[in-house]
Amino acid sequence: MKSFVKTLQYSSQQSESENRLFCAVIYQAIDDASYKGLDKRYLRYKQEAIEWLTSMSNDFCLVCQLANYEPQYVKDQIKRLAIHGSIQFTQAQNDILFNGSIKHRTVLSLIPWVAKIVLINK
């Protein structure tokens, strides 16, 4: 019984290396979302990263909590990056992702809450 209690105590205490691991997951997603190149594979990663970072999905919230971040705080910081242009799709990236079929697609149409914020602030 002693070892079981010790195991429970250990599992409730997150180690520093585990914390850094989940921070790295968030940082990698931010790096993927900030991709500036034109490789279609990496543009898909960018799209997925933006979707993950802007959702409040269970896995996003869990990763944030395991990294000792409040999920809403992370999402708010991503919003700031999007508004300031650090996370956006260029026209060339849009053309590659959408085969040039949608010429006027912008980051505002890809991230609906950014459009609302920009419209409110105008």
CB-based burial label for 26 (10 Å; 0-12, 13-18, 19+): buried
CA distance 69 to 118: 26
Query: What is the residue range of 73's domain?
Result: 15-121
93 inside domain: yes
CA distance 28 to 61: 16
104 inside domain: yes
Structure confidence by residue, pLDDT tens digits, 16-26: 999 999 999 99
pTM: 0.70
Structure confidence by residue, pLDDT tens digits, 56-88: 999 999 999 999 999 999 999 999 988 888 888
Q: What is the DSSP letter of 111?
A: S
Q: How many domains, the chain? A: 1
Tokens representing 65?
Answer: 């909590």
2 inside domain: no
44 inside domain: yes
SS3 state at 46: helix
